[in-house]
Amino acid sequence: MTQPFLFPPAAALAAIGDRAGIQRFHYVIRHGSMKAGLYAPNDRDEQGPHQQDELYVVLTGTGRFEKAGRVVDFGPGDLIFVEAGVEHHFTVFSADFTCWALFWGPVGGEG
């Protein structure tokens, strides 16, 4: 069977469903050290630092993102990079906020 190579956000969001009270996340692909999924948090972002480097691609919504004490505003189309092991959170976000989250590389990041 051939692995899918197109991942519409709507299909990933449907796979998440209405998960109240937990982090709303669904992996769409895992390949080697890379994995990618759709993140659509409910009321707050409770994630902690990750073991791999990470990119967020904002699809919908707006808000504020904090990384290692630095805060930035974000919106659709923005790309956010977080090194492995660095504390980060979406501190404020609109109800329609969704993003792709992509992880890759070795545990501890690529340096």
* Rg of the chain (C-alpha set): 14
Longest dimension (CA), the chain: 45
In order of 2, 19, 28, 82, the CA distances from 55 in angstroms are: 26, 23, 15, 6
| pLDDT, tens only, 27-45 | 999 999 999 999 999 888 9
pLDDT digits (tens, 9 = 90+) for 16-30: 887 665 678 999 999
Domains, the chain, ranges and CATH?
27-104 (2.60.120.10)
pTM of the model: 0.91
- The pLDDT tens digits of the residues spanning 77-103 come to 999 999 999 999 999 999 999 999 999
